[in-house]
Structure 1
Amino acid sequence: MLTKYWIGIATYDDVMKAVYEGFAQLCHGKKAPLKKMSTGDWIIYYSSKKNFNEDIPYQKFTAVGKVSNDHIYQFDMDINGFIPFRRNRFY
Structure 2
Amino acid sequence: MKHWLAVASAAHVALGYAGNFMQVCHGKKGPLSKINPADGIVYYSPSKVFGKKDGLMSLTAIGYVAQGEPYPFDMGGGFVPFRRDVVWLSDRVCPIAPLLDRLEFTANKKSWG
Greater length-normalized contact order (CA 8 Å, ≥ 6 residues apart): 1
Cα RMSD (Å):
1.0
Measured in 2, the distance between the counterparts of 1:7 and 1:53 equals 19
**2:16 is paired with a residue of what secondary structure?**
helix
Match of 1:38 in 2: 36
> How many pairs align?
88
41-50 vs 54-63, which deviates more?
A: 54-63
TM-score, normalised to structure 1, is: 0.91
Q: Which residue of 2 aligns with 1:28?
A: 26
Structure 1: which 5+ runs fail to align? none
Q: Indicate conservation of the 8 Å contact 2:23/2:82, yes or no.
A: yes
* Identity of matched residues, %: 40
C-alpha distance in 1 between matches for 2:84 and 2:67: 8
Query: TM-score w.r.t. structure 2 length?
Result: 0.74
Partner secondary structure for residue 49 of structure 1: coil
Match of 2:86 among 81, 86, 89: 89
Secondary structure at 1:17 match in 2: helix
Q: 2:74 aligns with which of 71, 76, 81?
A: 76
Q: Deviations over 1:59-83 (max 9, x none)?
A: 00000110111321100111x3111
Bigger-Rg structure (1/2)? 2
Unmatched runs of 5 consecutive residues or more in structure 2: 89-113
Aligned counterparts, 1:41-80, within 5 A: 41-78=39-76, 80=77
> Residue type matched to 1:48 in 2?
P
Structure 1 residue runs of 4+, over 2 Å off? Answer: none
Given that 2:33 and 2:69 are in contact with CA atoms closer than 8 Å, whether structure 1 keeps it comes out as no
